[in-house]
Structure 1
Amino acid sequence: MFSAAVLVSASIFLAGCKQEPVLPEAEASGKSPSANQAGAVCWLEVKGKQIVNASTQRPLILRTMNLGAWLVQEGYLLNPQGCSGCPSTQWQMKRQYRNQGKTEAEIEAFYQSWRDNFITKADIDYIASLGFNSVRLPMHYELFLTASQRAVRNSVAYAANDTDRGNKHDAYKQSLQNWYNSNQLFNGGDLEGFKIIDRLLSWCNANNLYVILDLHAAPGGQGSDGNISDMFYANNLWQFPVFQNVTNRLWERISTRYKAEPRIAFYDLINEPNNVTGGGPAIHSLMQRLITTLRNNGDNHMLMIEGNGWGNNYDYLEPYTLSPNWGLIYNAHRYWINPSDDYVRDGNPNQINRLINLTEFRDRHNVPVWVGETGENTNDWLRQNITKLNQNGIGWAHWTYKRYDVYENSALMRIGGNYPTDGAAVMSTVLNQIKFQNCIKNNNTIAAVTSTLPSPGSTICK
């Protein structure tokens, strides 16, 4: 039997995307479901080195747009020119507003408006019109907390000094443990994170697009790079069991709500682990736990594995080390690689961001590979990169759709006007400028990234 939440989610389908329950024997067998078992003409699965439509068995290359900065503000996306004392994380951005006299309620209202306006159906319609067949949603775990739970986390950001912040962070960790123990985490469809996913699914269904759920800001922080994870202290995900427990519980709740949703292509379990305490074995332990939880929950979605080194190194994470290991996809993030270096093997065959290592890893382990992020470079670099990936049958996700700048940049859309880092005085201007109709198209970048895309909607569910 499906829960009520799953049935509600499963009703959000594109016309012609028929859904039937996953058969119990598929859940118990430990094997990937057949097309009949999956019961959806849109369902995707792994077949050897390819991602295929489960009904037709035709390969599908996921050409994707990242929706960066929507749910996780990364500092460099907010002010690429930089400034003295610029916030580099979202919590530091909140602290700046608080120090400039804004109340917590006003700051929360600002972020609600940011989420309501940064990506709308108009943005998804436009992405689809360019020929992309999917979007990747970088998520912040805090959006699956209740407002009162999020306020406890915010208290860490608003601490008076470093000592106070440490004490409040300890109190927050204890609160998380108490909520976990008493089953008070991630319950109910009215949480902001679930509402955003539901809304995005509706927009993508209308446009024949898949959605990839990416846990971008994981509980505790998945490395030393605070910019991507909005963490308070480095590597707490790996150092404190409570954060791993919370991560596991979050994916369990997401799975329970969406395991019957064929418009979700796969789950990207943890974005860009980096400089991880304990290295590959520590990542392996949590990845194995998440895989076990999701498969025991009867969830047959494909699962993206990301390794150390910002999602590029798979020491101790090869497919044969994980069980069950069906339905796995391996990731690379490709930034600023000298084009000629793509044909020079990295000495570590498990370091796979160079093209030759990426394709050889795929062939050696008979698994699909996918480039979850690439971009942030010149248009010439973007063109040659996409050409290489297309020629090798590797899907990719451009980073990113929108970002601030005064000049054309590597995003598709440029946000003009005041930067968020300009402070509390310009908050209303910022909220107006992020709207689709007020953004500026980076036409040269758009041409470089989209010139080889198929006709809109031509590769989905056919």
Structure 2
Amino acid sequence: MENFITGYPGHEHEMRAALLEVLGKEKYDFFFDKFLKYFFTREDAKFFASLGLNCIRIPINHRHFMDDLQPDVIKQDGFRLVDRIVEACAAEGIYTILDMHTFPGGQNQGWHSDSGLHRATFWEHRDFQDRAIQLWVAIAKYYKGNASIAGYNPMNEPADPDHHNLQAWYGRVEKAIREVDPDHILWLDGNTYSMDFSGFKEVLPNCVYAIHDYSNMGFPGGSYEGTDEQKEILRKQYERKVQFMKDHKVPIWNGEFGPVYASPDEANHEQTNQQRYNLLGEQMRIYKQDQISWSIWLYKDVGFQGMVYAGPDTAYIRLLKPFLDKQKRLGLNKWGRDDTHVKHIYEPLVQHLKEEIPEEFQGRRYPHHWRLEGHLHRVIREMLFSELLTYEFASYFKGLSLEQLDELAASFKLENCVKRDGLNKILQADAGLA
């Protein structure tokens, strides 16, 4: 559950630990059981199918299946959680793709690997890599023959600094999965957050290669006017990512894309969002020319990017609005961050580092496209600052009854959510039902 989806700061395991401390085991288990139950139900699957969409990518935290203190034990609760979504989707004619979104040690340097680190130590420890293969073998054994599952996305947004470790792990996991499940497709993300295939040397059998295609023009600070120049930028960005697939004549999948939307309390939010709908539409026109499949990111959240989002009058939003406003002002979470109110604080620090670190070394840390300031923000804001504010987030839950916790979780029921019609109409049109 990435932080911007429900509004907590930092990393999921930190948020869960803070809530466990505040709520105690009984209330903690009750809240998350209800939350996960309400977050995606048969009604959600029906709505999704009503738009003409036929496939959902399910992001999974490995912690539902593995405990770091008992690394050889595969927890069965993970299958129970995934089964419920797979079955709800299958009943509506929707395929599912199982996406492992986090890994022991972190497969990338970002918050969404849920490592709590700024280094992807997964690539430094064979034990982590072996455990991940052990987990995929268990999943493949369990879902072998399940025709409603369109396949397995073994790793979300890998970021291997050396570029060759990812290729070696893909080769190992493909072979291990095939030994127990020879039929399901593997959907393989590119390196450096699914954007770079330059280090890929071979094509594995029965695999589809996946890009993630976000555009900076769809985020705060960006603007899409629909000029010929901007359209060319979108196309070149896409073509660079898919060159490997075209060279090797293999299928392309866009596993994630989509703008971040302005909220009603922002100036000119309707104009901003229309620009972002236009951007999304242009991207989908590019994809249609190559007839590639895609999965929008994402389905449901608290209002940043989802096809639906928890309504402003729900118990969850009412309770946490002061914290959500504070978090937005501070620009803690990387996704959709606006630095308007804190730019004057961080710019001098970035400048200080640039003055003291020789220019030839400033870009040495991978991923290089983050630049020096991106790495600074990762460590200071997205880790230290956010981790400590996780306790403030959890404090809002202190003293709540089971009935109140149930009402909070129910804020994410589809019936209590707002549908983002501008986005959904574009998706529906691409599916041919508009």
Of 179, 188, 195, 1:296 maps to 179
Q: Does 1:403 align with 2:301?
A: yes
Cα distance change, pair 261–450 in 1 and its aligned pair in 2 (3 A): same
CA separation in 2, counterparts of 1:412 and 1:267?
A: 23
5+ residue gaps, structure 2, are 218-225, 261-275, 321-392
Cα distance change, pair 395–308 in 1 and its aligned pair in 2 (3 A): same
Of 46, 51, 56, 1:125 maps to 46
Shift of 1:231: 1.3
Is contact 1:280-1:314 (8 Å) kept? no
Q: Does 1:437 align with 2:410?
A: no
Q: Which amino acid aligns with 2:239?
A: I
Of 385, 388, 409, 2:286 maps to 388
Equivalence for 2:189: 306
Map 1:17-416 → 2, pairs under 5 A: 73-79=1-7, 87-99=9-21, 101-145=22-66, 149=67, 172=69, 175-176=70-71, 180=72, 185-186=73-74, 191-226=76-111, 228-233=112-117, 234-274=119-159, 276=160, 278-320=161-203, 325-337=204-216, 340=229, 343=232, 354-377=237-260, 378-405=276-303, 409-416=304-311
CA separation in 2, counterparts of 1:141 and 1:98?
A: 19
Q: Which amino acid aligns with 2:19?
A: Y
CA separation in 1, counterparts of 2:230 and 2:74?
A: 44
Is contact 1:402-1:414 (8 Å) kept? yes
1:383-419, CA deviations, whole angstroms, 9 ceiling, x for partnerless residues?
11112111221111111111103xxx53210113334
Normalized per residue, the structure richer in helix is 2
Shift of 1:335: 0.9
Is contact 2:107-2:113 (8 Å) kept? yes
1:133-167, CA deviations, whole angstroms, 9 ceiling, x for partnerless residues?
1110001111124xxx4xxx5xxxxxxxxxxxxxx
Cα RMSD over matched residues?
2.4
Shift of 1:213: 0.6
Q: Which amino acid aligns with 1:254?
A: I
Q: Which amino acid aligns with 1:329?
A: V
1:89-142, CA deviations, whole angstroms, 9 ceiling, x for partnerless residues?
11222233245x321332232212111110011001110011001110001111
CA separation in 1, counterparts of 2:104 and 2:200?
A: 21
Shift of 1:431: 0.6
Equivalence for 1:449: 427
What is the TM-score with the length of structure 1 in the denominator? Answer: 0.65
What is the TM-score with the length of structure 2 in the denominator? Answer: 0.69
Equivalence for 1:4: none
Cα distance change, pair 362–263 in 1 and its aligned pair in 2 (3 A): same
Q: How many residues align?
A: 325
Shift of 1:345: 10
CA separation in 2, counterparts of 1:432 and 1:208?
A: 25
5+ residue gaps, structure 1, are 1-72, 80-85, 154-171, 347-352, 457-462
Q: Which amino acid aligns with 1:283?
A: L
Shift of 1:342: 6.3
Shift of 1:361: 2.7
CA separation in 2, counterparts of 1:358 and 1:341?
A: 17
Q: Which amino acid aligns with 1:95?
A: A
Equivalence for 2:345: none
CA separation in 2, counterparts of 1:199 and 1:454?
A: 28
CA separation in 1, counterparts of 2:309 and 2:186?
A: 32
Is contact 1:337-1:354 (8 Å) kept? no
